[in-house]
Structure 1
Amino acid sequence: MDGIRVIACDIFGTTVDWYTGVAEQVGSLIEVDGTAFATEWRRKYVPSMDRVRNGERDWAYLDTLHRESLDELLDQHQLDPAEETRQKLVRVWHRLPAWPDSTSGLRRLREHYTLAALSNGGFALLTALVKHADLPFDCILSAELARAYKPDPSVYLTAAGLLDVEPHEVLMVAAHGWDLDGARDAGLRTAFLERPAEKGPHHAADRAADVAADFSVSSFDQLAEVLNPG
């Protein structure tokens, strides 16, 4: 891992607990099983971005995609909340809790590396989320800056270019194999951070045994130990 200058961290599932955060907020806004609704909503995440990547629709930032998915789900559940409630539901993705190890581990890493949030979330979403969760990132690199979505290589290469480093000087940290596959294809180095509870108790998350990465860890604290054992 010599030569790493930047650590780029995925956000949803890797750094913050989207499942718990979305489920609790949804349950407080509409009469529905928040955990089931959160899972259904998240399942629409990658397909909605795929339509942008495949050119089936024009660029749209993540709040727009979340709103479209939300409206579909509400129709399926035969729910018709007011527009104000729908807007609040979209913004639940702006306020998600950090995993217990995220803040402490990121602070340790920040002593030696530039830390970047590299996410498919929009710039405004990520700004609000990082502030709400008190995450010590040096910068936010939204996919919105590349007008593309991970795992499109332009997202990773835009991040490296904006920070004036070579792709191989960036370590991408994520809890999702597809994200690390995209980063590796773009020339970045990769670390898998295993989050068994990412999708809640009834759905399996990606496992280290099934993901190709330069190495795997179970927390940001462990990542700090691996990169700076002294």
Structure 2
Amino acid sequence: MNDRAPALDAPLILDPLQASARAIDPVQVEAAIVGRRSVRAFLPTPVPRALIERLLRVAARAPSGTNTQPWKVYVLQGRARDALCDQVCAAHDAIRAQPALAAEYQEAYDYYPSQWVSPYIDRRRENGWGLYGLLGIGKGDKDKMHAQHQRNFRFFDAPVGLMVTIDTVMGRGSLVDTGMFLQNLMVAARAHGLDTCPQAAWNHYARIILPHIGASEQEMLVCGMALGYADPQALVNRFVTPREPLERFVRWVE
């Protein structure tokens, strides 16, 4: 855990004017942003409900078009979490045994492109083989690949699983808004010594997830997220993805 994380009993400031008037340590803010990464092995250490609520309240200060605040969050712990994991893992295994079943599990929106092109496919491959290479999973190790992918559906053993939805009536902009909410949540979690892993892998199993969490038929699953304390001894947590240099994605227009 992060010994420098803010105390849970520290005052929570939700007034933007009051917050902006306070002195801010830019190094600490930057550390929380840069320190956010996708953790794939967690300790069983419980996360206090009061801390989860605090993080969600802070995250809800995310901007949204005309203040629509389209996100809805379902927090899964204990038996509810475990039961969902069991159901989705069973479906994941069934699809492997009978690939035609995949047609029954479709995501509500295209998270990835239908046709990959450079440079995005190159980065995707670098990410995939970098992770699998660290874990000693070779290109033909289908059993190990399946097992590692299924770790998603155990929330990588995190004690807290989150499911985030929006109403289907909302437009694509609400996905942008929800993405900013998710980023707020992940950075706030890091500031408190917690780690996360946002997971689009769950999206294919919305037909199982939405009834389980009590979501309405008018809701669409945006993604899942693992939340907890990272296991510092886990090999997989040594994996850190690179970032492109500024000159590759920034153009100065003067």
Q: Which range, TM-score by smaller chain?
A: under 0.3
Q: Which has the higher contact order (CA 8 A, sep 6+)?
A: 2
TM-score by length of 2: 0.22
TM-score by length of 1: 0.24
Q: Which has the larger radius of gyration?
A: 2
